[in-house]
Amino acid sequence: MPDITTLILDDHAWFRRRFAALDELQARAGTDPRELARVWDPLAARLDVHAVAEERIFYPQLLARGEDPREETVDAIGDHNEIRDGIAQAQRSPVGSRGWWDGVWNARRANDEHMGEEENEGLANFRLHVAPELRESLGARFAEFMDAHPDPGDLAGLDGPDGTDLDPEDYVEARLDQPDQAGRGLGIGHLRGQSQ
């Protein structure tokens, strides 16, 4: 099983390819809105579910085990909110309209910034400070979550983050108040505190 950092990077690569496909469609005059929706709808859904998976699985662990992860996590949760806001903006307009494209590109800009920061900060921090066995265990949990929730509508009623905007400071404070909460239920309690 790949570790969680690899799975997150794989999703990032997929996001970049999907946005590139939208670039291609935008460059063609008269693109059918159904063709745009075939690219955008799964992309928007996965962006949202990916953010929730990170909020439920990755960031609590980073806060518990990373080196000075508070600012990275606050920034990441804020980025997730901006991505969701762009998706919501696009959903309020007809596919292919100016308002729709504005929402798509707002989500893209926020996601591009988020991925770059996460790859250079949070993921790198996690690889340096978390044992490979824990990263693999979390990878299994991340993959299971993504498979179980292919659509943001599947997130309703979950405990914890559910695809709605979160207050970044409240998110961090709640997890710092209960640092062991991140590892519960993962079958990895014996790995707590281990690093490479």
pLDDT of amino acid 32: 93
Question: pLDDT higher for 31 or 138?
Answer: 138
Question: pLDDT higher for 44 or 184?
Answer: 44
**pTM listed for this prediction:** 0.84
Cα Rg of the chain, angstroms: 17
- Rounded to the nearest integer, the mean pLDDT of the chain is 86
Task: Residue 61: count other Cβ atoms within 10 Å of its Cβ.
Answer: 23
The string of pLDDT tens digits covering residues 71-84 is 999 999 999 999 99
Question: pLDDT higher for 135 or 30?
Answer: 135
pLDDT of amino acid 66: 82
| Whole-angstrom distance, CA of residue 15 vs CA of residue 131 | 27
